[in-house]
Amino acid sequence: MAEMISTQIDLSPSAMKVLEKRYLKKDEDGKTIEGPVDLFRRVARAVASVELNYGKSDAEISSLEDRFYALMTSLKFLPNSPTLMNAGRRLGQLSACFVLPVEDSMESIFDAVKNAALIHKSGGGTGFSFSNLRPKGDIVGSTKGVSSGPISFMTVFDSATEAIKQGGTRRGANMGILRVDHPDILDFISAKDNISKLNNFNLSVALTDVFMKAIEKDEEYDLINPHTKKPVRRLKARSVFNLIVNHAWKNGEPGVIFMDRINQFNPTPAAGQIESTNPCGEQPLLPYESCNLGSINLARFVNANSTEARKQGSAGAGSEMIDWDGLRETVRLSVHFLDNVIDINKYPMRKIEEATKANRKIGLGVMGWADMLIQLGIPYNSVEASKLASEVMKFIQAESKKQSAFLAVERGVFPNFEESIYTDDMAVRNATTTTIAPTGTLSIIAGCSSGIEPLFAVSFVRNVLEGTKMYEVNPHFERIAKERGIWSKELIERIAEKGSLKDIDEVPEDVKKTFITAHDISPLDHVRMQAAFQKHVDNAVSKTVNFSHNACPKDVEDVYFLAYGLGCKGLTVYRDGSREEQVLSTGQTAKQEAEKEAVQPTIKITPRKRPEVIKGTTRLMKTGCGNLYVTINEDAEGNLFELFTQMGKAGGCASSQAEAIGRLVSLAFRSNIEPIEIEKQLRGISCHSPAWANGGKIASCSDAISKAVERYMERGNKSNGNGSHPKKEKAIFSGACPDCGGAVEHEGGCAVCRDCGFTKCS
């Protein structure tokens, strides 16, 4: 196997963990067969090979390969995950974002289901507008039957996504959009009241200018049947808006998309109207279009003497301390990289290839924004920060357009150029060049803050195994704390308990202002930052507006109006602790939850008695200690009842421990504890002797038992008789990672685990 770590790549232990789990090539037994150096060289070589199509020599191609390799290994730029995973490999599908049309016919609906399955299998996420489907109860002319409506068909898409799972490296993710003037809009807004449904979807309501004006005037607006194009009834705009607000306050969904504004900036209006976006909302696309994204790590473009300049109070030091020349070079090389990706990409469908190459949209964005501000000593929620955000993104936008124009001279404009908003004075290769996407796993690899989000926490507990706490500390804070003489283990533990520096007395005020976290910032300031970047972004900006648990629906309403007024194209909100059973990653909220539980009455649980006859199955699980046979039985009602284990090698410590775990799991089953909770507790526990089977890692006997329980549940969505049938995805919304059990952060319009790199949004 190639060397795992190169001195040329500054990778943290967390980055290595994510790369090994999700990106590095593995053999049929799940064993890693390449290292980070090999990965980046593989990607650079594949993307540079496109130059052969444009008459470049072998020497020129080799030189560009080295430049692409240096670009990525310096961690100044990373392409979206499918490119890192698949470039130079057999699959070769490199796009993250797709939008598929769903027209009002059974053929179109199930074609879209099939095409989405192909995309999910290849590692992409899909966006759909269901606004063209006739409403529930409408008469279907061909059969005289009754339409079941968009939401019932969405469950078909959801089930198909559930079945694919994208091979375990990238999970399926969908965006479901419905126009606010669709007759079924009220059902759509409340579609996720049942948390066991549509878990593979993000939902957003497409708000129109007509609707927003009707709210302002406190008027009614028309609901329009998409089949007949005629109004069918009227609703009070304010009442519908209040319903959206209250559901977003309750659990973060649905989000909102300002669809008329998106089409106002549609670069190719003659080619069609935009109806949907990708799963996180930052990439509006025409039907069948895909987009290739990449992000620049802004933390790498702060001059080393910036801190000293800020201490001396240098005027305009924020802007002056940025390496603009280095940023310019990186932007231009990144645009070249992403344009090449369009050519080398192996598209899952011919229609997608044709639509993508017709407009050649790319989306260059940023990450490490909070780190840049910290290095410059600028508070995230300051006017200075918003001004700098606008300046930085304006620069990136301008330089990306210059590089696209350069490529147009060399390679030609995009085919739909004559139908676009561009003029001959600005002939470009790409219809769009900028997007700000969530960078959950990419930012872990790059060792920086995610997207344009503020810090999630200054210090937090990364994982808890066998009672051992592992603290993660922001490296900039560690450096400053040591310089100021306030560093101590006790300080870090107290910060991790709270997540922020807000009430830590020994931390100086200027440090507190610089290291401000997502929940220390007002929701309105979150929106202002999003708007500052949106001014100079072709597509859209993915960001989460965080609210405290005590926020009220009126607070959510205020940010929606502010976002609309400041020119944002959409908005995602998340109120801390709003999703059921949330496990928070800072001790403060966990303490509040414990206090809430303390006032509940004590309930004594008596395990169910075993019936005489019981049925089940036995599954062979390969572990580092040998073959483990796991038998799971259920009672007559189909509730999981007991679990037995048998080691292939008789006796020994491993065998006795597996038997003990089986007895405790059986006791939990018989006490009506949901299997997913048991599986979550056992998942990911490691021992000194892991094994690989079916392309996946078995970390220990405990981990093997958890996987056996999981696979048994997948056979029929098994529960334990308490009235709920939670899927594995429920854990995503609860704040616990379904892969490793770590804490999930809501950022960039997505949910991301900083422990293992799991992301809900593909």
* Distance in angstroms (rounded) separating the CA atoms of residues 287 and 273: 9
* Distance in angstroms (rounded) separating the CA atoms of residues 68 and 87: 13
Domain assignment of residue 628, yes or no: yes
- The yes-or-no verdict on residue 585 having pLDDT over 70 is no
Residue 187: count of CB within 10 angstroms of its CB: 16
The DSSP letter of residue 697 is E
In this structure, what token pair is assigned to residue 728? 């594995």
Q: pLDDT tens digits, residue range 456-465?
A: 899 987 654 4
The pLDDT, as a whole number, for residue 438 is: 92
What's the sign of the alpha-carbon dihedral 735, 741, 743, 747?
A: negative
Same domain for 212 and 226, yes or no, is yes
Domain assignment of residue 338, yes or no: no
Same domain for 602 and 664, yes or no, is no
Same domain for 592 and 708, yes or no, is no
Domain assignment of residue 740, yes or no: no
The pLDDT, as a whole number, for residue 420 is: 96
Residue 101's pLDDT band, with cuts at 50, 70 and 90, is very high
- Using a 10 angstrom Cβ sphere, with 0-12 exposed, 13-18 middle and 19 or more buried, the burial of residue 747 is buried
Catalytic residue among 115, 174, 280, 740: 280
* Distance in angstroms (rounded) separating the CA atoms of residues 213 and 518: 31
> Mean of the per-residue pLDDT values for the chain?
87
Domain assignment of residue 706, yes or no: yes
Residue with tokens 């019981």: 614
Residue 259's pLDDT band, with cuts at 50, 70 and 90, is very high
Q: pLDDT tens digits, residue range 156-199?
A: 999 888 888 644 445 678 999 999 999 999 999 999 988 778 98
Residue 436 bridge partners (DSSP)? 541
Residue 681 sits in which domain range? 615-733
Catalytic residue among 200, 202, 266, 278: 278
In this structure, what token pair is assigned to residue 433? 């060049």
Same domain for 104 and 237, yes or no, is yes
Same domain for 595 and 650, yes or no, is no
* Distance in angstroms (rounded) separating the CA atoms of residues 323 and 315: 17
The pLDDT, as a whole number, for residue 468 is: 55
Q: Looking at this protein, which amino acid is placed at residue 720?
A: N
Same domain for 640 and 594, yes or no, is no
The pLDDT, as a whole number, for residue 462 is: 66
In this structure, what token pair is assigned to residue 699? 């970390």
Q: pLDDT tens digits, residue range 505-561?
A: 999 999 999 999 998 999 999 999 999 999 999 999 999 999 998 999 999 999 999
* Distance in angstroms (rounded) separating the CA atoms of residues 27 and 34: 10
User: Is 434:396 a contact under the CB 8 Å cutoff?
Assistant: yes
* Secondary structure in 3-state letters for 115-182: HHHHHHHHCCEEEEECCCCCCCCCEECCCCEECCCHHHHHHHHHHHHHHHHHHHCCCCCEEEEEECCC
Q: Is 216 a catalytic residue?
A: no
Same domain for 471 and 509, yes or no, is yes
Alpha helices in 205-349 (DSSP H): 209-217, 237-251, 259-264, 306-311, 317-320, 324-344
Q: pLDDT tens digits, residue range 110-161?
A: 999 999 999 988 888 999 999 999 999 988 766 667 888 999 999 999 988 8
- The yes-or-no verdict on residue 359 having pLDDT over 50 is yes
Indicate which CATH number applies to the domain containing 637.
3.90.1010
Catalytic residue among 275, 282, 472, 729: 282
Same domain for 500 and 645, yes or no, is no
The pLDDT, as a whole number, for residue 725 is: 41
Residue percentage of the chain with pLDDT more than 70: 86
* Distance in angstroms (rounded) separating the CA atoms of residues 762 and 759: 6
- The yes-or-no verdict on residue 733 having pLDDT over 70 is no
Domain assignment of residue 131, yes or no: yes
Residue 269's pLDDT band, with cuts at 50, 70 and 90, is very high
Residue 307's pLDDT band, with cuts at 50, 70 and 90, is low
Residue 732's pLDDT band, with cuts at 50, 70 and 90, is very low
Report the number of distinct structural domains present in the chain. Answer: 3
Residue 471's pLDDT band, with cuts at 50, 70 and 90, is confident
Alpha helices in 32-149 (DSSP H): 36-48, 58-73, 81-86, 106-122
The pLDDT, as a whole number, for residue 145 is: 76
User: Is 292:96 a contact under the CB 8 Å cutoff?
Assistant: yes
Residue 264: count of CB within 10 angstroms of its CB: 12
* Distance in angstroms (rounded) separating the CA atoms of residues 185 and 151: 10
Q: pLDDT tens digits, residue range 294-306?
A: 999 999 999 976 5
* Distance in angstroms (rounded) separating the CA atoms of residues 661 and 27: 31
User: Is 556:245 a contact under the CB 8 Å cutoff?
Assistant: yes
Single out the residue in 277, 311, 333 at which a domain terminates.
Answer: 277
Residue 31: count of CB within 10 angstroms of its CB: 11
- Measure CA of the first residue to CA of the last residue in the chain; give whole Å: 29
The pLDDT, as a whole number, for residue 599 is: 45
Write out the H or E segment, with its range, that includes residue 621: strand 615-623
Q: DSSP letter string over 375-395?
A: HHT--TTSHHHHHHHHHHHHH
Higher-confidence residue of 317 and 30: namely: 30
Q: What angle do CA 9, 10, 14 make, to 5 degrees?
A: 115
Same domain for 588 and 703, yes or no, is no
> If you average pLDDT over residues 451-457, what whole number do you get?
94
The pLDDT, as a whole number, for residue 283 is: 96
Q: pLDDT tens digits, residue range 597-656?
A: 444 444 557 788 888 788 888 998 888 888 899 999 988 878 888 998 988 755 567 788
* Distance in angstroms (rounded) separating the CA atoms of residues 241 and 311: 47
Single out the residue in 221, 249, 277 at which a domain terminates.
Answer: 277
CB contact set of 467 (below 8 Å; sequence gap of 6+) = none
Q: Would strands 544-547 and 468-473 be described as parallel, antiparallel, or unpaired?
A: unpaired
Counting DSSP H helices and E strands in the chain, the numbers are 27, 25
Widest pairwise Cα distance in the chain: 83
- The yes-or-no verdict on residue 3 having pLDDT over 50 is no
Q: DSSP letter string over 658-695?
A: HHHHHHHHHHHHHTT--HHHHHHHHTT---SS-EEETT
User: Is 533:525 a contact under the CB 8 Å cutoff?
Assistant: no
Single out the residue in 233, 249, 277 at which a domain terminates.
Answer: 277
Domain assignment of residue 469, yes or no: yes
- The yes-or-no verdict on residue 721 having pLDDT over 50 is no
Predicted model pTM: 0.81
User: Is 76:296 a contact under the CB 8 Å cutoff?
Assistant: yes
Same domain for 607 and 639, yes or no, is no
* Distance in angstroms (rounded) separating the CA atoms of residues 339 and 50: 10
In this structure, what token pair is assigned to residue 660? 């003990």
Domain assignment of residue 249, yes or no: yes
Domain assignment of residue 465, yes or no: yes
Indicate which CATH number applies to the domain containing 133.
3.20.70.20
- The yes-or-no verdict on residue 595 having pLDDT over 70 is no
Q: Which of 51-55, 466-470, 535-539, 655-659 has the lowest mean pLDDT?
A: 466-470
Q: pLDDT tens digits, residue range 139-152?
A: 876 666 788 899 99
Q: Is 381 a catalytic residue?
A: no
Q: pLDDT tens digits, residue range 53-93?
A: 999 999 999 999 999 999 999 999 999 999 999 999 999 99
Same domain for 621 and 502, yes or no, is no
Same domain for 677 and 595, yes or no, is no
In this structure, what token pair is assigned to residue 221? 């607006």
Q: Is 278 a catalytic residue?
A: yes
